[in-house]
């Protein structure tokens, strides 16, 4: 507003300045400008000041709008920057989880292979033990009948020991198979979850 008032005063001064040379050459009574010219000049100054005021106000409004838009864009850029950082963190975490899962799968595969090898050995040992039991049974059948109750008890104890060993071996194998089945099912469930 001060700027508009200053411009009005400047225009008035300019108008008076252009009239000043006339003042020097004419007499005092002729120095007064005609009332119509002063009114036109004042009307022009008022119109000019209103135009300047309008330009000032519209320019100020435009600058405010531009400032608001810039602030909005800055906030959007900051938000995008935070989202980008979060996405990078999530990606890094996913990579770590994938590496961990790959390591677990490799370990599970190694454990499974070890267990399969162990089970194959146990099956061989079981087959050998059965062969021994069958040989022992044939030996008992084909051998001379025991001459005493004591011999018969010793043979029965030998057979019982062999059968107990076979039973323990079978139970141990069963437990190992159940343990491996549990590990494999957990591994499959974790693979499905991923």
Rounded Cα distance between 54 and 60, Å, is 10
Q: Are 42 and 1 in contact (CB under 8 A)?
A: no
Rounded Cα distance between 8 and 45, Å, is 6
Angle at 171 between CA 166 and CA 176, to 5 degrees: 125
Q: Which of 21-35, 54-68, 140-154, 173-187 has the highest mean pLDDT?
A: 54-68
Mean pLDDT within 148-157: 78
Domain extent for 179: 2-193
pLDDT higher than threshold 80 for residue 45: yes
pLDDT higher than threshold 50 for residue 79: yes
Residue 184: both structure tokens together: 């494999």
Count of domains observed in the chain: 1
pLDDT higher than threshold 90 for residue 25: no
pLDDT higher than threshold 80 for residue 3: no
Q: Which of 45-49, 62-66, 147-151 has the highest mean pLDDT?
A: 62-66
Rounded Cα distance between 65 and 75, Å, is 15
pLDDT higher than threshold 90 for residue 109: no
- DSSP-derived 3-state class of residue 1: coil
- How far apart, in Å, do the first and last CA atoms of the chain sit? 69
pLDDT higher than threshold 50 for residue 52: yes
pTM over 0.95: no
pLDDT tens-place string over residues 114-123: 878 887 888 8
DSSP code at position 143 = S
Supply the mean pLDDT for the chain: 78
Please, which residues have CB within 8 angstroms of residue 140's CB and are 6 or more apart in sequence?
A: 155, 159
Band of pLDDT at residue 130, cut at 50, 70 and 90: confident
Per cent of the chain over pLDDT 90 is 19
């Amino acid at each position: 507003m001060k700027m508009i008032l200053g411009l009005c005063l400047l225009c008035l001064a300019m108008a008076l300045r252009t009239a000043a040379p006339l003042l020097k050459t004419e007499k005092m009574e002729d120095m007064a400008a005609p009332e119509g010219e002063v009114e036109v000049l004042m009307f022009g100054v008022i119109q000019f000041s209103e135009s300047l005021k309008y330009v000032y106000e519209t320019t100020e409004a435009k600058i405010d709008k531009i400032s608001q838009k810039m602030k909005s864009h800055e906030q959007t850029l900051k938000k995008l920057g935070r989202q980008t950082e979060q996405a990078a963190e999530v990606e890094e975490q996913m990579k770590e989880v994938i590496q961990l899962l790959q390591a677990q799968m490799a370990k599970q595969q190694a454990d499974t292979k070890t267990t399969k090898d162990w089970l194959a050995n146990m099956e061989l040992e079981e087959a050998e033990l059965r062969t021994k039991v069958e040989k022992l049974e044939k030996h008992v059948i084909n051998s001379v009948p025991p001459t005493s109750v004591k011999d018969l008890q010793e043979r029965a104890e030998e057979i019982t020991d062999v059968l107990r060993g076979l039973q323990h071996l079978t139970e141990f194998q069963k437990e190992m198979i159940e343990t491996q089945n549990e590990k494999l099912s957990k591994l499959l469930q974790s693979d499905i979850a991923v």
